[in-house]
Structure 1
Amino acid sequence: MPHKMMQLLSILIGRLLFMLIAICELLQQLWLRLHALARRSYDYWQCDYHHELFERTMHELQKLPQHLVLVIAPDDRYVDATLLKRIFSYAQIVGIPYLSVYDTRTPKNGYVDLSRFCQSSGNENKCYLWPSQQVKEQKQVQLNGCKTVVSNGTTNGSASNGTKHYAQLQVYQIGTADGHALIADVCRELYENRKTPQVQELLKERQALTEGISARLNKHLGFAVPEPELGIIFSRLTCIYGLLPWHVRFTEFHTHRSGSYFDAKSFAKVLYKYARCEQRWGK
């Protein structure tokens, strides 16, 4: 009898703790949404501040990433097409040429298909150009409610406020099948062709094998870009969810808590943190 009482008491305490955690999580999410609403309202009246922020960022930073990757957690409910468009515009303004989006959600759970608002590059269905042709024709990009003129040329243009732009940002959509599963497919392909002269030549030297595997991975992906130097994870936890494991060996990741408002200031803060990081390469 005492043993059963202890079991019932343990179950009751466990359920009570679970309820308390759920209530705390709900209150925290409500606070984040209220904070996001206040920030969004504030940003609407601070158009000039954003222009000055990016101009100061480009002037002060000595190091900017050439390839930025965005990782979206499976349970994130706040990263939508509107936010991605803003981030694309931020990256274009500061001069980041390559950007990848790794959205681990399902279409029913918020997955954003970039083909809806990006222009296909004409090579592969995973490669896009931002801004799209429609946006270029309008010559305007919406940044937190502030309109900024975008150059319609093929080289770096400049906005009316003096902020330089890349004519088009190269955007890549990475799927869940492009991670560990792709490595397994490439290794299986090499094993099946292990007796061919080409594979036998790769097996003679480790560096040649590494380069051969990387070339095959890029071929399966449909694009070859520099390894991402900076990653932004939209999640409650810091996790890359199997993102291109052969490409992120030296990537600096920053986690932005899901539900928190992400604006130009948030983007600039991540760039400043990245610029302060020093990779000593074992020295």
Structure 2
Amino acid sequence: MLVQSLKKDCVMALVYEFVWRILHALLHLQRALISWFRVRLWNWRLWKRAVAALLVPLALGFQNHKKLGSSAGKQGLRRVRWGADGKSLEKLPMHVGLLIVEEELHYTDIANLVVWCMAVGISYVSVYDHQGIFRRNNSRLMDEILKQRHDLLGLDSAKHSLEFLNNRNEKQDHQVLSCQAVVKALSPDDGKPSIVRAAQELCRAVEEKERRSKDIDVHMLDAVLRGSVHIPDPDLVLKFGSLESTLGFLPWHIRLSEFISLPSHTDLSYEDFFSALTRYATCEQRQGK
């Protein structure tokens, strides 16, 4: 019994030693494999980075070229669409007033609106804010309009001529008649104060015997207010802002104007602009009846 027990212990010891050696060998094999994979993985990353360094500039160049081509194509399609949109309306306003009753004014957004008006075929655009900021910064507004005309209309910008009216050139009606679009920046001084000045002018004319008091009527006052350049009254006024007031915008000229309110002129899309024109085209104007 003792001999059998010793033999059994020896066999178990040999088995344990064999198993331990196998496990030790597997451990070394695992470490070797991990080291090999790390080296291969590092080399693969190096290769991947090298290939990316070569291919990325080519890919970016192709994408930029594709974007430039697609953007130019989209601009052309937009220009064609804008012209077609204007012709599709039953009624297109000849004169649009842009009435901004917001505190913050954005020149680029207003310039976009003016260019869209030109693109659909509107002949006169008046821009008004109650602080007179656009009127005082008339040259900045006009520079932005010219820039956006070039950016939005591209090669077609030459087809859309512009005339900017201010106090110095309002009497140059021969230039106005030769232009496709006339733009004017207005302020509260063009509202009630202009009516007062016209009335004072008529009174002085009566005092100096240049006119007779019985000849003064609405039509004469209207002629004095308009001066030598006849710009039609606004057919449509787009009011931007939540304030329910015209804030002195041309009280004499808007008797028959259609008003459409929009939340803001900031980031206004062409779709929102054209939707307002569509509302105007489908509205029934009673002409004061």
TM-score w.r.t. structure 2 length? 0.59
Work out the number of aligned pairs and report it: 203
| SS of equivalent residue, structure 1 residue 204 | helix
Q: Distance in 2 between matches of 1:217 and 1:94?
A: 29
For residues 83-102 of structure 1, what are the structure 2 equivalents within 5 Å? Answer: 83-102=109-128
| SS of equivalent residue, structure 1 residue 141 | helix
TM-score w.r.t. structure 1 length? 0.60
The one-letter amino acid of 1:204's match is K
Query: Aligned-pair distance for 1:47?
Result: 5.6
- The answer for unaligned runs of 5 or more in structure 1 is 1-45, 120-129, 157-165
Query: Deviation digits for residues 10-45 of structure 1, max 9, x if unmatched?
Result: xxxxxxxxxxxxxxxxxxxxxxxxxxxxxxxxxxxx
The one-letter amino acid of 1:181's match is P
| SS of equivalent residue, structure 2 residue 150 | strand
Mapped contact 1:99–1:172 kept (Cα < 8 A): yes
Q: Distance in 2 between matches of 1:186 and 1:81?
A: 31
> Which residue is equivalent to 2:183?
171
Q: Distance in 1 between matches of 2:236 and 2:214?
A: 34
Change (3 A) 1:84 1:112: farther
> Which residue is equivalent to 1:256?
262
For residues 1-283 of structure 1, what are the structure 2 equivalents within 5 Å? Answer: 50-51=78-79, 53-73=81-101, 75-77=102-104, 79-105=105-131, 107=133, 113-118=137-142, 132=146, 141-143=150-152, 148-153=154-159, 168-200=180-212, 203-205=213-215, 209-219=217-227, 223-258=229-264, 261-281=267-287
Q: Distance in 1 between matches of 2:145 and 2:155?
A: 12
The one-letter amino acid of 2:219's match is E
Change (3 A) 1:99 1:155: closer
Mapped contact 1:72–1:105 kept (Cα < 8 A): no
Q: Distance in 2 between matches of 1:148 and 1:112?
A: 29
- The answer for unaligned runs of 5 or more in structure 2 is 1-73, 163-177
Query: Aligned-pair distance for 1:195?
Result: 3.4
Change (3 A) 1:259 1:90: closer
- Spell out structure 1 runs of 4+ moving beyond 4 A: 46-53, 153-156
Q: Which has the higher contact order (CA 8 A, sep 6+)?
A: 1
The CA RMSD over aligned residues, in Å, is: 3.5
Change (3 A) 1:93 1:180: same
The one-letter amino acid of 1:116's match is R
Q: Distance in 2 between matches of 1:260 and 1:140?
A: 18
Q: Distance in 1 between matches of 2:132 and 2:157?
A: 35
Query: Aligned-pair distance for 1:174?
Result: 1.1
